[in-house]
Amino acid sequence: MTGRVLEVVEAGVVPYAEALEWQRALAQARIEGRLANDVLLLLEHPAVVTLGRNSEAEHLLSRDGIEVFEIERGGDVTFHGPGQLVGYPIIDLTGHQRDLHWYLRTLEQALIDALAGLGISATRNPGYTGVWTGNRKIASIGIHVKQWVTWHGFALNVTTDLSQFQRIVPCGIAGVEMTSVERELGAGSREQSLWAQSVRAVIRGFERAFRASARPGRPHADALAP
């Protein structure tokens, strides 16, 4: 383990628009040197669909009763909602590797390690970004980088209502089957404890993949304090 510190903020349920502005502010603070350490925001969104820079209009099949945001991250269309663990790493890659492919593969590895800790065998799928178990996709990844500082990140389905993905062509991959931690572990998994276990597993996965020590971060208004 190196001397790197990863400040982890468990923020609970945060509306998408608020989380988007929060990420942007943190990233700018990291760029300007007002944020001393990398940060990992872990949260949950009310139901929302986001369209990345590479999204195609026909991949949004239904917007009935749901907010839709066009944003700066890479990738196509995705769904966020209750039961999905969303992670926004604000990481200065100059302290790691100035290599976007390395960063994407390291994000995937952090989630693969996290899922292994939960008893789920997960892998990459050559040609696609994200994490899969068998032929089912369990985590999506989409990032944005400015001056080697990252924001946006990943979405891991924990107890997500998978029927919500029928609104979209997830990540623009026709015929993809989405899954969740709950589905893969089967009957008997308790929703509340499953969420807490998933959060802990993701934090451990990030510590290992990014060779950093996690510690509790400062939430919201305090996060930008010098």
Residue 224 has pLDDT above 60, yes or no: no
3-class SS letters over 39-99:
EEEEEECCCEEEECCCCCHHHECCCCCCEEEECCCCCCEEEECCCEEEEEEECEHHHCCCC
Task: Kindly report the CATH number that applies to the domain delimited by 5-224.
Answer: 3.30.930.10
Confidence of residue 190 (pLDDT cuts 50, 70, 90): low
| Residue of 20, 49, 171, 194 marked catalytic | 171
Active site residue 171: yes
The domains of the chain are located at 5-224
pLDDT at 96 over 90: yes
Tell how many helices (H) and how many strands (E) occur in the chain. 4, 12
Average pLDDT in the chain: 91
